[in-house]
Amino acid sequence: MLRHVLLLTLLLTTFTRTLAQDDTLPVILPVEGILGDSGFELLDITDASARLHVVSTLPVACSVVYGSTREFGQIAVDADMGAGAHQDHNAVLTGLEPDTRYYYRVQGTDAAGNLYVSEVMTFRTLPEIETANLLSPENGAQIVGVSSNFGGQPDDGRWGALNALDGNPGTAWSSSGDGDDAWIEVELAQRSRITRVEFWTRFMADGTAQITSFTITTDSGDEYGPFTLPDAEQSYTFDVEIEAKTLRFDVETSSGGNTGAVEIAVYGEPVE
């Protein structure tokens, strides 16, 4: 028995020394060491989500751990379809509760296996926002048609059209390489007078998939726009006066590729 204990002790000692001498183990470094002048910003904070924008000085795979306590419990990864390591990152934190304090930490991994970690920081979500997107299926709207969904998926698939209408900036609709020919058409629950349109284009780190302008065509044949989207970093709002039962959103100009939308929303009142 003593012989077995001595042998086990010897093995554990050897293993510990091996770990201490193993220079292949990851090195943990401050994330500030790979950030440019812009650092990172927490943007688009709402009552249910937030977006973290990070620009790194070298390609890394980026993620954010977050939660209502320092134990976190949730993780957000870069929303880019291409995934992998790159330098311009957008991680969307979803499933948040209104008017709640959240803890978060930014993390990244480079090709050498080094880990970059920030300090634990906090932010607070906005109070609950009462808005009704008339394009949402929850409000009785339905998709009439779509140019395509990436990979031939159904509308409720990973990149399906319903992702643009779900109120979740962590999901997105992607066409299958439609570029300027991408479109989506939605029928409202009832004819409505629309006063505001919001559109958030998707994009990919290689510069493709970004919509730069779009038009809206109603069931009466009236066309509105084009509406210009300066970038893909947020949702842009346009004040309009449109009365319609059906709305078709057509890409006017884009950077080509798998164009689509993170979110599309319209607000207004039913026509009595």
Same domain assignment for residues 196 and 118: no
Is residue 2 a part of any domain in this protein? Answer: no
How far apart CA 213 and CA 201 sit, in angstroms, is 9
Give yes or no for a contact between 63 and 76, defined as CB atoms under 8 angstroms apart: yes
Same domain assignment for residues 104 and 152: no
**Boundary-marking domain end, from 96, 124, 152:** 124
The sign one gets for the Cα dihedral 167, 157, 79, 203 is negative
Same domain assignment for residues 116 and 228: no
> Which helix or strand (DSSP H or E) is residue 253 part of?
strand 236-254
Q: What DSSP line would sit under 112-171, residue for residue?
A: T--EEE---EEEEPPPPP----TT-GGGT-EEEEES--GGG--TTSTT-GGGGSSS-TT-
Kindly report the CATH number assigned to the domain that includes residue 29. 2.60.40.10
Same domain assignment for residues 145 and 266: yes
Same domain assignment for residues 83 and 143: no
Q: What DSSP line would sit under 88-105, residue for residue?
A: EEEEEE-SPPTT-EEEEE
Same domain assignment for residues 149 and 175: yes
Kindly report the CATH number assigned to the domain that includes residue 197. 2.60.120.260
Is residue 189 a part of any domain in this protein? Answer: yes
pLDDT at 128 (0 to 100)? 79
Is residue 144 a part of any domain in this protein? Answer: yes
How many structural domains are present in the chain? Answer: 2
**Boundary-marking domain end, from 90, 124, 158:** 124
Same domain assignment for residues 144 and 264: yes
Is residue 60 a part of any domain in this protein? Answer: yes
How far apart CA 180 and CA 134 sit, in angstroms, is 25
Same domain assignment for residues 264 and 175: yes
Give yes or no for a contact between 38 and 71, defined as CB atoms under 8 angstroms apart: no
Is residue 99 a part of any domain in this protein? Answer: yes
Is residue 37 a part of any domain in this protein? Answer: yes
In order of 83, 88, 257, the CA distances from 206 in angstroms are: 11, 10, 10
pLDDT of the chain, 272 residues: tens digit per residue: 444 434 444 444 444 444 444 556 778 888 888 887 777 888 888 888 898 888 888 899 889 999 999 999 999 988 776 667 888 888 889 889 999 999 999 999 998 889 999 999 999 999 877 678 999 999 999 999 999 999 999 999 999 999 999 988 889 999 999 999 999 999 999 999 999 999 999 999 889 999 999 999 999 999 999 999 999 988 999 999 999 999 999 999 999 999 999 999 999 998 87
Same domain assignment for residues 82 and 147: no
Give tens-digit pLDDT for 235-254: 999 999 999 999 999 999 99
Same domain assignment for residues 111 and 153: no
Same domain assignment for residues 31 and 152: no
Same domain assignment for residues 153 and 107: no
Residue 184 buriedness (CB in 10 A; 0-12 / 13-18 / 19+) = buried
Give tens-digit pLDDT for 202-235: 999 889 999 999 999 999 999 999 999 999 988 9
- The range of the structural domain enclosing residue 72 comes to 23-124
Is residue 10 a part of any domain in this protein? Answer: no
pLDDT at 82 (0 to 100)? 61
Is residue 131 a part of any domain in this protein? Answer: no
